Amino acid sequence: MDINYQALADKYGTPFYLYDFDHIQNRYTTLKDAFAGKKSLINYAVKANSNLSVIAHLAKLGAGADCVSIGEVQRALDAGVDKYKIIFSGVGKRDDEIRAALEYDILLLNLESEAEMKRVEMVAKELGKEARISIRVNPNIDPQTHPYISTGLHENKFGVEIDMAKRMYIYANKSEYLNPVGIHFHIGSQLTNLEPIRESCGIVADLVRSLRAIKIDIKFFDVGGGIGVVYDDEVTIDATAYTQIIANETKDLDVTLLCEPGRYMVANAGAFFTRVLYEKNNESKRFVIVDGGMNDLIRPSLYDAYHRIEAVMVEGEKTPADVVGPVCESGDFFGKNVPLPPLQHNDLVVVHSAGAYGFSMASNYNTRAKSAEVALQDGKDRLIRARETYEDQIRLELPYLQK
Ligand code: LLP
């Protein structure tokens, strides 16, 4: 498809995010088809990209949602996700979040500690409801990914150990207000190797078998998210191999398979467009200063993550440049030593594969307005989030200003 990115930049201003909805659809159907013949539900991890239109697009295709705050649950509901397809995970939930989740009657609350289970039981009792729960098991498997996005080791704060999980299931099974119907693990993000997933599935499937032996019937087997994508030249997980391994490890268990992909659904579908303000050279370095900053896309600064960067429709000999933003931090960069042609004021630069954990991690640091978000679907572009204004940013402060 021939897309005139310059025209989009003129129409929407810069910086902006562009998401290819056809690509998202493709990802969803590829994964869903790979589960063919199995009972399955794909719970899109809303944190990866929580734009309402993105969630709605996936909801129309049949996706559920994996949420980590009541705000995300509300987004999922507002976007049209069926309440019985929503799960609420996370290590720390406030009582009011638990209460709201129970009132919304979503599919599952995923619990990560004994103390949390007791709170959920208490809130459910107050409401006179039974809470459907799953327990996040920490299988102590090294996912072989970046330490910041690795979550399945005992040194990480997530989930509970197998023995503790078993004790919790026994307790929950006896409780009038808890109904343990699911089991969950999530060992990390941007996984490129299937072996840790296979091992974790095996460990957790064994736990399901031992629970069945004591008449605790687990219906939902949730393998979390984590499927890695290609940012550079990674060789990553194939959807069919992924689902086959999961199906294989659970083949004797009559369970519905749940997974929670975030990045896989949206990362490669998105790009961040920013315009060149100017170039600056010192004795040893060439800097390209653009109008987007780390507040818009923090992955390079936070994780040293690689995103391919290109100039749009600019010819010329390429030399290495650091692509940096206007934020007053040395960590405000999108790429270092990026081969780029000579660039002029207003030339357009694209940062690829920015659809996941891009806008959703954006902030207003330096009182910078959050960028616009644009969808591309069937060859047509449309705004799905307007650029913030200064007024949007001060709205909650202004009423309290005393001069
Ligand atoms: N389920 C749970 C319980 C999670 O904690 C996560 C991500 C997911 C699903 C979705 O994982 P995915 O399929 O997207 O890998 N900000 C980091 C990623 C943090 C991931 C946190 N948890 C980044 O930009 O790389």
Torsion angle in degrees (nearest 10) through CA of 105, 115, 140, 73: 30
pLDDT for the residue numbered 234: 94
Is the minimum distance from the CB of 299 to ligand 1 under 6 angstroms? yes
Q: 330-385 pLDDT, tens per residue?
A: 999 999 999 999 999 999 999 999 999 999 999 999 999 999 999 999 999 999 99
Minimum-distance ligand 1 atom for the alpha carbon of 136: 3
Q: 377-392 pLDDT, tens per residue?
A: 999 999 999 999 999 9
Confirm whether 328 is a catalytic residue.
yes
CA angle centred on 49, ends 191 and 138, rounded to 5°? 40
CA angle centred on 318, ends 316 and 324, rounded to 5°? 115
What percent of the chain has pLDDT above 70?
A: 97
Q: Are the C-beta atoms of residues 222 and 180 closer than 8 Å to each other?
A: no
Reduce the secondary structure of 138-192 to three states and give it as a string: CCCCCCCCCHHHECCCCCCCCCECHHHHHHHHHHHHHCCCEEEEEEECCCECCEC
Minimum-distance ligand 1 atom for the alpha carbon of 190: 15
Q: 124-133 pLDDT, tens per residue?
A: 999 999 999 9
Q: Is the pLDDT of residue 149 over 80?
A: no
What structural domains and CATH numbers belong to the chain? Answer: 5-16+268-394 (2.40.37.10), 35-261 (3.20.20.10)
Is the minimum distance from the CB of 357 to ligand 1 under 6 angstroms? yes
* Residue 98 to residue 101: CA distance in whole angstroms: 5
Q: Tell me the chain's radius of gyration from C-alpha atoms.
A: 23
SS3 311: strand
Residue 257, CA distances (Å) to 176, 223, 228, 244 in order? 26, 8, 19, 11
Task: Using pLDDT thresholds of 50, 70 and 90, give the confidence band for residue 152.
Answer: low
189 C-alpha to center of ligand 1: Å?
Answer: 5
Is the minimum distance from the CB of 188 to ligand 1 under 6 angstroms? no
Minimum-distance ligand 1 atom for the alpha carbon of 151: 5
Q: Is the pLDDT of residue 146 over 90?
A: no
Average pLDDT of span 147-159: 68
Q: Which of 261, 269, 206, 257 is nearest to 237 (CA)?
A: 261
Task: Using pLDDT thresholds of 50, 70 and 90, give the confidence band for residue 154.
Answer: low
pLDDT for the residue numbered 142: 80
pLDDT for the residue numbered 153: 64
Q: Is the pLDDT of residue 144 over 90?
A: no
pLDDT for the residue numbered 26: 98
Is the minimum distance from the CB of 152 to ligand 1 under 6 angstroms? no
Q: Is the pLDDT of residue 150 over 80?
A: no
Compute the mean pLDDT over every residue in the chain, rounded to the nearest whole number.
96
- What H or E segment, with its residue span, contains residue 102? helix 95-104
For residue 261, give both structure tokens.
Answer: 């992909």
Is the minimum distance from the CB of 136 to ligand 1 under 6 angstroms? no
Q: 12-40 pLDDT, tens per residue?
A: 999 999 999 999 999 999 999 999 999 99
238 C-alpha to center of ligand 1: Å?
Answer: 18
Q: Are the C-beta atoms of residues 112 and 152 closer than 8 Å to each other?
A: no
Q: Is the pLDDT of residue 156 over 80?
A: no
Minimum-distance ligand 1 atom for the alpha carbon of 263: 14
Average pLDDT of span 45-49: 98
- Respond yes or no on whether the N-terminal peptide bond of residue 15 is cis (omega within 30° of 0): yes
Pick the residue whose CA is nearest to atom 23 on ligand 1: 357
HSE, CB side, 13 Å, CA atoms: give it for residue 16.
Answer: 25
pLDDT for the residue numbered 141: 87
Q: Is the pLDDT of residue 147 over 80?
A: no
Task: Using pLDDT thresholds of 50, 70 and 90, give the confidence band for residue 157.
Answer: confident
SS3 318: coil
Task: Using pLDDT thresholds of 50, 70 and 90, give the confidence band for residue 301.
Answer: very high
Average pLDDT of span 232-255: 96
209 C-alpha to center of ligand 1: Å?
Answer: 28
Q: Are the C-beta atoms of residues 23 and 33 closer than 8 Å to each other?
A: no
Average pLDDT of span 178-191: 96
Close Cβ partners of 177 (under 8 Å, ≥ 6 residues apart): 121, 124, 125, 129, 130, 131
Q: Which residue has the tokens 């357009």?
A: 348
357 C-alpha to center of ligand 1: Å?
Answer: 8
* Residue 346 to residue 355: CA distance in whole angstroms: 23
What percent of the chain has pLDDT above 90?
A: 94
Is the minimum distance from the CB of 149 to ligand 1 under 6 angstroms? yes
Catalytic entry in 67, 201, 259, 328: 328
Q: Which residues of 129-139 are buried (b: 16+ CB within 10 A; e: fewer)?
A: eebbbbbbbbb
Residue 125, CA distances (Å) to 89, 160, 334 in order? 20, 24, 50
SS3 97: helix
Q: Which residues of 178-207 are buried (b: 16+ CB within 10 A; e: fewer)?
A: bbbbbbbbbbbbbbbebebbbbbbebbbeb
